[in-house]
């Protein structure tokens, strides 16, 4: 039950979540994670530790991955929040979701939304040329390193999976990344073809 609004402790904010605008009054102490779960009934984002150590609450904030438990809801106003519920388009699963499903990249499923959101960002970060701690050549002109299993493991290490489905999670991220590259190459090729 929501507390009565009071200016000292509460604020009315508008959150942009998965493209939908939600106006709500929140306790200033409310984290983005609790706002999603307790106020907007978006429980796909999980609370594993509530202190930024497990990655289960990973969401995309303006396209960048972040742990929603260390983000105050009031500070998320005006930013685009994407949760696991916002990845599928219509009935079509996001390629990362499909790969997790097909390759059994989970067991209990509780870390899964965070793993998936993280993986979506990893694939984009890699494509944008961001290096990781295991990247051999970090010079900008070297371009994106091959997205090896070691690169995926390093980049996904903020997301704990106690069931330890790591083997199949890495396979799923690898498959989805390959599909994204193929699609990107196809789009580029098609675009080039049209231009010619």
Partner 1 sequence: MTTAPAARESAVGTARTRVEGRDKVTGAARYAAEIPFAGLAHGWLVLSTVARGRITSLETAGVLAMPGVLTVLHHGNAPRLNADYIGLLGVPPDPTCVVFQHDRVPFMGWPVALVVAETPEQAREAAEALVVRYEEEPHDTAFTRDRPDAYPVGGRMPAETRKGDMEAALAASAVVVDAEYTTPEEYHHPMEPHAATARWDGGRLDVVDSNQGATWIVGELANLFSLDPASVRVRSEHVGGGFGSKGIRAHQVAAVMAATHLRRPVRVVLTRRQMFPLAGHRSATIQRIRLGADTGGRLRALEHRSLSHTSTVHEFVEPSTGATRVMYDADAHHTANLVVRLDLPTPTWMRAPGEAPGSFALETALDELAEKCGIDPIELRVRNEPERGPVSGLPFSSRNLIACFQEGARRFGWADRDPRPGLRREGRWLLGTGTAAASFPVMALPSTAAVTAEADGTFTVRIAAADIGTGARTALTQVAADALEVAPDRVRMRIGDSDFGPAMIAGGSMGTRSWSWAITTAAGELRERLVPGAGIPPEGITVRSDTTEAVGALAQMERHSFGAQFAEVAVDVTTGEVRVRRMLGVFAAGRIINPLTARGQFTGGMIWGISMALHEEAVRDSVSGGHYGADLAGYHVATHADVPHVEAHWIDDPDPHDPVGIKGIGEIGIVGAAAAVANAVRHATGVRHRSLPIRPDRVILAGTAGAGADAGAGAGARAAGEAHA
Tell whether residue 89 is a contact of partner 1 (CB under 8 A): no
At which residue do the structure tokens 């605008």 appear?
Answer: 21
Residue from 5, 63, 78, 109 touching partner 1 (CB under 8 A): that is 109
Q: Is 175 in the site for partner 1 (CB under 8 A)?
A: no
Find the binder of partner 1 among 58, 66, 82, 97 (CB under 8 A).
97
For the bound state, the minimum distance from the C-beta of residue 86 to partner 1, rounded and expressed in Å, comes to 9
Least CB distance to partner 1 at residue 118 (A): 10
For position 188 contacting partner 1 by CB under 8 A, the verdict is no
Alpha-carbon span 65 to 83, nearest angstrom: 10
Would you count residue 85 as binding partner 1 (CB under 8 A)?
yes
Residue 50 backbone class (left: φ over 0; alpha: ψ -120 to 50; beta: rest) = left
Q: Which is nearer to partner 1, 34 or 125 (CB)?
A: 34
Q: What's the rounded Cα separation, in Å, for the pair 86 and 63? A: 12
**CA triple 156-157-163, angle to 5 deg:** 95
Using the rule CB under 8 A, is 153 a contact of partner 1?
yes
CB atoms within 10 A of CB 171: 19
Question: What are the distances in angstroms from CA 100 to CA 31, 97, 135, 163?
Answer: 28, 5, 25, 14
Note whether 130 and 147 are within 8 A (CB).
Answer: no
Nearer to partner 1, 60 or 193 (CB): 60
- Residues 192, 182: Cα–Cα separation, whole Å: 15
Options 61, 76, 95, 100; binder of partner 1; rule CB under 8 A? 100
163 near partner 1, rule: CB under 8 A = yes
Which spans of this chain sit near partner 1 (rule: CB under 8 A)?
A: 1-3, 9, 27, 29-30, 34, 37-38, 41-51, 53-54, 56, 83-85, 87-88, 93, 97-98, 100-102, 104, 106-113, 116, 149, 152-154, 156-170
């Amino acid at each position: 039950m929501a507390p009565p609004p009071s200016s000292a402790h509460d604020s009315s904010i508008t959150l942009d979540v998965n493209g939908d605008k939600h106006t709500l009054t929140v306790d200033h102490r409310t984290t983005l994670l609790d706002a999603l779960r307790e106020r907007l009934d978006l429980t796909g984002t999980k609370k594993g530790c509530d202190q930024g150590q497990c990655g289960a609450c990973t969401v995309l904030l303006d396209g960048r991955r972040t742990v929603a438990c260390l983000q105050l809801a009031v500070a998320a106003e005006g930013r685009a929040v994407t949760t696991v519920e916002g990845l599928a388009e219509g009935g079509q699963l996001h390629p990362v979701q499909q790969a997790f499903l097909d390759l059994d990249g989970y067991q209990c499923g509780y870390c899964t939304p965070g793993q998936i959101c993280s993986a979506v960002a990893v694939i984009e970060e890699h494509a944008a040329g961001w290096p990781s701690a295991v990247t051999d050549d970090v010079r900008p002109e070297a371009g994106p390193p091959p997205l090896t299993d070691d690169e995926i493991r390093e980049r996904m290490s903020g997301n704990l999976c106690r069931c330890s489905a790591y083997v199949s999670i890495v396979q799923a991220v690898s498959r989805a990344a390959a599909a994204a590259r193929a699609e990107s190459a196809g789009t580029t090729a098609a675009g080039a073809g049209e231009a010619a």
